[in-house]
Amino acid sequence: MVHETLLQAGVDPTTRRVMVLEAVARAEGAVSAPELLSVLSGNMNKVTLYRILDLLVEHGVLARHTGPERAAHYCLGRGHGHFHCTRCGRCICLRLADAHLERLAGPELAGLGRVDDVELRVEGVCRDCLAE
Exposed / middle / buried, residue 132 (Cβ in 10 Å: 0-12, 13-18, 19+): exposed
Torsion sign (Cα): 83, 116, 98, 58: negative
User: Cα separation of 111 and 31, whole Å?
Assistant: 34
**Nearest in space to 117 (alpha carbons), one of 82, 79, 83:** 79
102: which DSSP letter? H
What's 9's domain CATH number? 1.10.10.10
Structure confidence at residue 28 (pLDDT): 82
In the predicted structure, residue 129 carries a pLDDT above the cut 90: yes
In the predicted structure, residue 22 carries a pLDDT above the cut 90: yes
* Number of structural domains the chain divides into: 1
Q: Per-residue pLDDT averaged across 35-55, rounded?
A: 92
Q: What is the domain extent for residue 77?
A: 2-131
Exposed / middle / buried, residue 53 (Cβ in 10 Å: 0-12, 13-18, 19+): buried
Q: Give the CA distances from residue 89 to residues 96, 97, 128, in Å, rounded to whole numbers and listed in that order.
A: 21, 25, 12
Confidence of residue 41 (pLDDT cuts 50, 70, 90): confident
